[in-house]
Chains A and B, each alone.
Chain A
Amino acid sequence: MAQLAMFFKAENYRHSAFVEGLRDAAPQAPGVAAWGLMIGVAMINSGMSVMESIAMTLLVYAGSSQLAAIPLIAAGAPAWIILATGFCVNLRFMVFSLHLRPYLMHLPRFERVIHGYLTADLSYVLFTRRFLKPSSDSAEQQMQTAFLAGNTFIIWVSWMVASLFGIYLSNFIPSTWGLGFAGTLCLVGIFCSLASTKMRFFAAGVAALTAIAAYQLPLKLNIVLAIGVAVILSMSLERFRKHPQGNKT
């Protein structure tokens, strides 16, 4: 597995910042594990085979897009719809990568891509909270990279162990207990972590209303539509607030 190369690269894991990254992410690990466990159970309960569920866990490594894709796979939706839905749910990662770019560009491409692939929501939030600015000093860059490796390592491990355990446990947990709701709650957490400005609250409100109003659309297209409407209205409102008289710049 390519990702293991990054965790076990000596200049990362021997660095003191690797342990610091581990410690910083450790309090979040049980939450990640609960979410991974629930996704593991959900995959099997939807009718995916054990082999498919294990492959999805090890490869896709993105809980929110897995959660969105699972019912679509079960319903036999067209592949492009599943991939488009996964892409839309993952759009936030594109924003993260834009933000992380200056932190990682000193690395060779292979290492950048592996770090990027491993940086899920919590690692991004923790990393950018710890390092407000990218560095141009190479010792400090090394420190930041080691911190990120430690951070993503503990989150990756807790996700994988819990999710594989969930695949194993799925036969013993009846869905009537409502444990699947833990997954929704994890999305609520991600949602709240993104709700940082008034304009983003506005975008969220528009998207929520559109997604509910257009719920009857087939193939979860209401999600794609809601994103489109929210982005267009938010950008228009932002432009209007900058130029209330309609002045063109």
Chain B
Amino acid sequence: MTFFEGTDVWTVAVIAGLTLVTFITRCFFFISSEEWTLPEWAQQGLQYAPIAAMAAVVFPEILMQQGHFLQTWMDARWVGALVGGAVYFWKRNVLLTIVAGMLAYLPLHVCLAW
């Protein structure tokens, strides 16, 4: 494993682009010093877009298997995610969410091969 092995210009360019995406999204509303407001429809849309994005990423991650909806309920991922989510609403702590979810997930995944 040498440092530069497998490095290509295209990937580096994509990384640069993603860096710009981080900058633009995190600073979007304070790049400009001008006083201005977003149109109301866009403000409304921004209420829903973030959680929609998270749901669109997370749920297929938990409920799909090789491009299909789960064929069996014996899958450790939805159990782990459910436990993790419940713990988040209870304790509001990301570490506990991860720990509890993994404690539910790993035995099922490793021992029972769910």
Contacts and interface: CB of A to CB of B under 8 A. Distances in A.
A79 B14 contact: yes
- Majority SS at the chain A contact face: helix
B11 A73 contact: yes
A127 B40 CA distance: 25
Contacts, number: 294
A138 B98 CA distance: 39
Contacts of B18: 56, 59-60, 62, 65-66, 69, 82-83, 86
Interface residues of B, number: 76
Contacts of B21: 62, 65, 83, 86-87, 90
A82 B17 contact: yes
A207 B56 contact: yes
A109 B31 CA distance: 7
Interface in B21-59: 21-31, 33, 38, 41, 43-59
B83 to A, nearest CB: 9
Contacts of A61: 22
Nearest to A206: B52
Given A189-B98, A191-B58, A91 B15 contact: no
A238 interface: yes
Interface of A: 27-28, 30-32, 34-35, 47-52, 55-56, 59-62, 64-69, 73, 79, 82-83, 86-98, 100-101, 104-105, 109, 112-113, 116-120, 122, 171, 177-178, 181-182, 184-195, 199-200, 203-208, 210-212, 215-216, 222-223, 226-227, 230-231, 234-235, 238
